[in-house]
């Protein structure tokens, strides 16, 4: 099982990188953003989770699937808030290059707090192993209720994933 989740994590990172590595003319800033993202995400590990281990999703966030470029930008801005200044700009440049397909392995989500984007996260499922879902890239803006936003996003994603997958992995 350990190699299976390690492979799922690696596939998620390859999918994320493909938006730059497969691009015909990636910008230098997007390449820098990819390097920063990889540094932060390549060494992460995932732990098995059960929906029953988490509180029911609260109504703190209104969560929407990223299904258009404006929501990709909001996902990118929230995610990039984990970095500072020039690094944040590079990560934004990288993340805004994400191209979503309806049948792709990843689903991105943005959580709105009081009408503004405040949290984000991803569900990643390899089509070859559809019973395993990786819950990752959970971030929140550095607001006073940051921890509550992360917890609300995590609970919401776990609930969504538990409806379609048998094995859930959180990183």
Q: In whole angstroms, give the CA distance from residue 123 to residue 134.
A: 6
Reported as a pLDDT band with limits 50, 70 and 90, residue 130 is confident
The CATH class given to the 2-170 domain equals alpha beta
User: Considering the chain, what percentage of its residues have pLDDT values greater than 70?
Assistant: 99
**pTM of the predicted model as reported, rounded to 2 decimal places:** 0.94
Q: Locate the domains of the chain by residue range.
A: 2-170
User: Tens digits of per-residue pLDDT, 30-88?
Assistant: 999 999 999 999 888 899 998 888 878 789 999 999 999 999 999 999 999 999 999 99
Do residues 158 and 54 lie in contact, with contact meaning Cβ atoms separated by under 8 Å? Answer: yes
């Amino acid at each position: 099982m350990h190699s299976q989740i390690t492979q799922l994590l690696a596939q998620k990172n390859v999918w994320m990188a493909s938006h730059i590595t497969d691009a015909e003319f990636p910008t230098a800033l997007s390449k820098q953003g990819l390097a920063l993202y990889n540094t932060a995400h390549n060494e992460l590990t995932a732990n098995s989770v059960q929906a029953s281990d988490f509180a029911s999703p609260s109504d703190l966030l209104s969560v929407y699937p990223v299904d258009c470029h404006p929501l990709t930008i909001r996902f990118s801005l929230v995610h990039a808030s984990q970095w500072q200044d020039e690094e944040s700009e590079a990560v934004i440049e990288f993340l805004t290059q994400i191209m979503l397909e309806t049948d792709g392995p990843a689903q991105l989500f943005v959580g709105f707090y009081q009408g503004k984007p405040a949290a984000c996260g991803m569900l990643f499922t390899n089509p070859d192993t559809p019973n395993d879902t990786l819950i990752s890239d959970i971030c929140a803006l550095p607001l006073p209720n940051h921890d509550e936003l992360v917890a609300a996003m995590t609970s919401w994603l776990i609930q969504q994933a538990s409806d379609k997958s048998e094995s859930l992995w959180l990183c």
